[in-house]
């Protein structure tokens, strides 16, 4: 077998090592354009888990790496004069140059041929090879020459960064956040061998321009940054090595293989330096390709297997990197935060680390973050224990005169089970059981203000006395049999109205003989075959506004604790807000101020009749997930406008504006928008969307990304979700009806034991340390 590898970086060399070891007869050649010891940058980072993988696949190169690295267990976060050390992480730093030389030495010992200072101009130069590996870096010539096939996308991120080194010794992976007259600078620093450390310096484009860094040479930039981090460098110099300012390119490819050619490493995909996974991703690519070759027959089958099996893991890493890099891009958003909250946000920014697993690593730090959260609750005027506080999700919250006993919310979820808009016994059991299950706040499904405001024939309404009586029965049950509060979400379907029940075809139009006329901001159908709505005129607006006000008055009569105006998901009021659905040329279209006009009119009219002591919230779609649609920045302004009109909470969802929406799904995928609105507009927010565990809720709250956390599907599966979570966190004060008290006490007893057993299992499953000193002591 003849294997030609273009690029002598970690990905190409490691694949050559693994293949030559497995198939000694294979003819493997590595072509590298640079000299053998020529490399940019300073150090690379590997976690204990990654080192464990290397040990499994090639113990010789693993030993060489671990004998030439600096090991640390802590992450150090330095912000506004405060310093936090968070242990239990397990990383090593290794010189990039040393890593390459070690891999070259190992490859040569196995019989891999290496040709340095050799350019491969095209694939034709390697004609006759069985397998061609294009590991030729970020600017891959092979990928670019075949763009139509690979379909690369390169997202150049806005922040500027430069890669430098220093003689400053470090005993932890260190983040320094420094504010200057120009703006904020961030240092990502770690030691990679005795007396040498990597310093990746980052700043936003505005600060970069104000500081005049674009006009500076490498050395001038280093001198400037030495001044910024003079205290942190403690007299040590910054070292340069092609340390030019750059924008980080997030690279993805629609395809990663072509005939007998495969992309590997940075040519295929990149991961931002803030999660330290670039070299790890490249070497794990090599492992995955090796596995595909070994378990299949023939190169074609192997590359098809690699294409199919490697993508998901890479996308997970890239998603974590995306979330992490965005946090650093918006560090100004968090500059007002208490240092402990800020540090907790740094640790949990990528969603890979959460409240629970951080508590396993650094229990004292999480305890401090929990105390800080409790102190902030106490500062709001609520009496809570700040010395031995409960987990954040079980802390109370007050909105106007409404007090919630915890931060868990049953998300608004349409049940499509009403009859002529009247809630049934199903609704009584549905909402009542979840209230008895302990949630602090129960949201109703979107409840419609008129027969023609419904999404489907099964949607609940609040336009007549029979509906009002049914809702009153539900509210009374919640108030008498639980400690929960209940909020009525009020809305109008707009152009998504007259649709089938969800299980019959979500958002699909009803047959003409069953449909009713529908309204919207503009005469645009939801689907091409959907009914075309009538663009609303002033008379329509007045009538709809009156319907919303009447619904608010009925909500008062029912005894609801709170109401929410639905301005999201492409429904009527959302259709005014989004430029995707609002093409009007009058005072209700065009600018964001104009598009806000009618939703604000409706909200203001409702606020005028709703009791001043009771809160109101607004649900928004913070992004349309469509180019040219609403953005997070727009939604900050929308949230501010509603807050000025009297909103107490912004319920932050996203999308569903149009079938053209292309959301990026994942765990807690909408939380970043709640974070943006909360911390840029300084408003209370509720996070919702793929939040599935109490651990995630605690993470979101402790990091200051939301004030309430709404969970939908977990509450559908388990009405007692909050009660079970209380058991998991040892919160004995959770409400339970007296009839259920014996079950609650047993749950608390069993949960405490189960939590300790789970903690023990997690600790045992943690990757072993690869720190030689610790391993020798253990042995």
Pairing of strands 562-567, 534-535: unpaired
* Rounded Cα gap, residues 317 and 517, in angstroms: 47
Q: So what's the pLDDT on residue 776?
A: 47
DSSP-derived secondary structure letter, 24: T
| Residue found under tokens 């929990």 | 370
* Rounded Cα gap, residues 337 and 327, in angstroms: 14
How many C-beta atoms surround the C-beta of residue 339 within 10 A? 17
What sign does the dihedral 586-587-588-594 (CA atoms) show? Answer: positive
Question: What string of DSSP letters covers 381-413?
Answer: T----SSSPPPGGGS-EEETTEEESSSEEE---
Q: So what's the pLDDT on residue 766?
A: 59
Q: Degrees (nearest 5) of the Cα angle 485, 488, 489?
A: 130
Per-residue pLDDT of 748-771, as tens digits, reads: 888 877 877 777 776 666 566 666
| Phi, then psi, of 579 in degrees rounded to 5 | -65, -15
Alpha helices by DSSP H, listed for 93-135, are 96-110
Question: What string of DSSP letters covers 537-591?
Answer: -HHHHHHHHHHHHHHHHHHHHHT-SEEEEEE-TTSHHHHHH-TTT----STTSSS
**Two structure tokens written together for 708:** 């309430």
Q: So what's the pLDDT on residue 275?
A: 87
Catalytic residue from among 416, 571, 588, 729: 571
Q: Kindly report the length of the chain.
A: 779
Q: So what's the pLDDT on residue 778?
A: 42
Q: What pairs with residue 258 in β-bridges?
A: 261
Burial of 746 (0-12, 13-18, 19+ CB in 10 A): exposed
For residues 764, 769, 775, 779, the Cα torsion angle rounded to the nearest 10 degrees is 10
Whether residue 73 contacts residue 131, with contact meaning beta carbons closer than 8 Å, is answered with no
Give the HSE-up count for residue 378: Cα atoms under 13 Å, Cβ half-sphere: 13
**Two structure tokens written together for 592:** 């964001």
Whether residue 546 contacts residue 552, with contact meaning beta carbons closer than 8 Å, is answered with no
Whether residue 527 contacts residue 499, with contact meaning beta carbons closer than 8 Å, is answered with no
Whether residue 162 contacts residue 203, with contact meaning beta carbons closer than 8 Å, is answered with no
What sign does the dihedral 116-118-122-127 (CA atoms) show? Answer: negative
**Two structure tokens written together for 397:** 């919250």
- The candidate with the shortest Cα–Cα distance to 194, out of 174, 173, 171, 175, is 171
* Rounded Cα gap, residues 749 and 746, in angstroms: 5
Residues of the chain with pLDDT under 50: 776-779
Contacts of 191 (CB under 8 A, 6+ apart): 43, 70, 72, 93, 169, 170, 171, 197, 198
Q: So what's the pLDDT on residue 768?
A: 62
Torsion-angle region of residue 448: left (phi > 0), alpha (psi -120 to 50) or beta?
beta
Q: Is 57 a catalytic residue?
A: no
For residues 184, 190, 191, 197, the Cα torsion angle rounded to the nearest 10 degrees is -30
User: Chain centroid to CA 206: how far?
Assistant: 25
Q: Strands (DSSP E) along 429-528, which ranges?
A: 441-443, 447-448, 485-491, 519-520
Q: So what's the pLDDT on residue 453?
A: 98
Whether residue 304 contacts residue 257, with contact meaning beta carbons closer than 8 Å, is answered with yes
* Rounded Cα gap, residues 374 and 396, in angstroms: 9
* Rounded Cα gap, residues 517 and 452, in angstroms: 7
Kindly list the distances between the CA atom of residue 306 and the CA atoms of 139, 311, 479, in Å, as whole numbers in the listed order.
22, 8, 57
Q: So what's the pLDDT on residue 763?
A: 65
Q: So what's the pLDDT on residue 772?
A: 59
Contacts of 515 (CB under 8 A, 6+ apart): 498, 509, 531
Q: So what's the pLDDT on residue 779?
A: 44
Q: So what's the pLDDT on residue 41?
A: 64
């Amino acid at each position: 077998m003849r294997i030609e590898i273009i690029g002598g970086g970690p990905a190409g060399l490691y694949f050559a090592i693994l293949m030559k070891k497995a198939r000694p007869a294979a003819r493997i050649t590595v072509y590298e354009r640079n000299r053998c010891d020529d490399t940019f940058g300073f150090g690379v980072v590997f976690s204990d888990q990654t080192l464990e993988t290397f040990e499994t696949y090639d113990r010789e190169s693993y030993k060489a790496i671990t004998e030439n690295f600096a090991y640390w267990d802590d992450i150090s976060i330095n912000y506004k004069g405060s310093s936090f050390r968070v242990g239990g992480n397990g990383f090593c730093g290794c010189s990039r140059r040393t890593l390459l030389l070690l891999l070259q030495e190992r490859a040569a010992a196995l019989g891999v041929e290496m040709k340095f200072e050799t350019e491969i101009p095209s694939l034709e130069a390697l004609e006759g090879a069985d397998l061609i590996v294009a590991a030729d870096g970020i600017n891959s010539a092979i990928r670019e020459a075949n763009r139509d096939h690979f379909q690369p996308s390169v997202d150049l991120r806005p922040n500027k960064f430069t890669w430098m080194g220093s003689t400053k010794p470090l005993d932890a992976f260190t983040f320094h956040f420094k504010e200057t007259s120009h703006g904020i600078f961030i240092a990502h620093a770690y030691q990679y061998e005795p007396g040498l450390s990597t310093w990746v310096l980052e700043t936003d484009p505005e600060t970069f321009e104000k500081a005049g860094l674009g006009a500076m040479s490498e050395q001038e930039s280093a001198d400037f940054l030495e001044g910024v981090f003079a205290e942190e460098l403690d007299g040590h110099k910054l070292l340069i090595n092609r340390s030019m300012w750059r924008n980080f390119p997030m690279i993805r490819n629609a395809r990663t293989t072509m005939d007998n050619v495969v992309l590997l490493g940075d040519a295929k995909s990149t991961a931002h330096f803030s999660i330290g996974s670039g070299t790890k991703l490249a070497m794990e690519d090599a492992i995955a390709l090796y596995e595909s070759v070994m378990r299949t027959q023939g190169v074609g089958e192997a590359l098809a297997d690699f294409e199919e099996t490697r993508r998901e893991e890479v996308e997970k890493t890239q998603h974590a990197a995306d979330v992490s890099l965005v946090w650093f891009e918006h560090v100004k958003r968090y500059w007002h935060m208490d240092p402990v909250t800020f540090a907790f946000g740094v640790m949990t920014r990528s969603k890979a680390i959460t409240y629970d697993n951080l508590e396993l690593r650094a229990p004292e730090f999480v305890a401090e973050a929990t105390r800080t959260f409790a102190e902030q609750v106490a500062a709001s005027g609520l009496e809570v224990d700040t010395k031995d506080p409960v987990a954040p999700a079980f802390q109370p919250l007050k909105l106007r005169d409404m007090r919630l006993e915890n931060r868990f919310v049953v998300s608004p979820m349409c049940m499509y089970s009403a009859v002529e808009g009247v809630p049934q016994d199903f609704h009584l059991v549905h909402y009542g059981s979840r209230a008895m299950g302990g949630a602090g706040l129960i949201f109703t499904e979107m409840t419609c203000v008129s027969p023609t405001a419904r999404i489907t024939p099964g949607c609940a309404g609040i336009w007549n006395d029979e509906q009002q009586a049914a809702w009153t029965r539900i509210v009374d049950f919640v108030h008498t049999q639980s400690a929960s509060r209940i909020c009525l979400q009020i809305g109008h379907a707009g152009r998504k109205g007259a649709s089938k029940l969800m299980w019959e075809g979500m958002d699909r139009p009803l047959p003409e003989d069953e449909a009713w006329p529908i309204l919207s901001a503009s005469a645009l159908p939801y689907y091409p075959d959907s009914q075309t709505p009538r663009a609303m005129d002033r008379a329509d607006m007045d009538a709809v506004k009156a319907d919303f006000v009447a619904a608010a008055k009925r909500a008062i009569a029912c005894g609801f604790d709170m109401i929410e105006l639905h301005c999201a998901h492409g429904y009527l009021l959302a259709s005014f807000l989004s430029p995707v659905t609002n093409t009007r040329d009058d005072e209700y279209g065009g600018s964001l101020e104009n598009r806000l006009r009618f939703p604000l009119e409706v909200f203001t009219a409702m606020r005028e009749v709703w009791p001043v002591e009771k809160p109101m919230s607004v649900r928004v779609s913070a992004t349309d997930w469509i180019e040219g649609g609403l953005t997070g920045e727009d939604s900050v302004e929308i949230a501010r406008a509603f807050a000025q009109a009297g909103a107490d909470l912004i319920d932050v969802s996203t999308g569903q504006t149009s079938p053209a929406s292309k959301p990026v799904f994942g765990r807690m995928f909408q939380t970043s928008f709640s974070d943006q609105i909360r911390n840029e507009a300084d408003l209370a927010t509720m996070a919702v969307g793929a939040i599935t565990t109490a651990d995630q809720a605690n993470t979101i709250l402790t990091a200051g990304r939301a004030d309430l956390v709404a969970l939908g599907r977990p509450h559908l599966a388990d009405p007692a979700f909050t009660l079970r979570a209380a058991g998991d966190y040892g919160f004995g004060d959770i409400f339970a009806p007296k009839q259920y008290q014996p079950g609650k006490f047993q749950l608390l007893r069993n949960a405490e034991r189960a939590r300790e057993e789970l903690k023990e299992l997690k600790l045992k499953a943690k990757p072993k340390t690869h720190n030689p000193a610790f391993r020798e002591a253990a042995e």
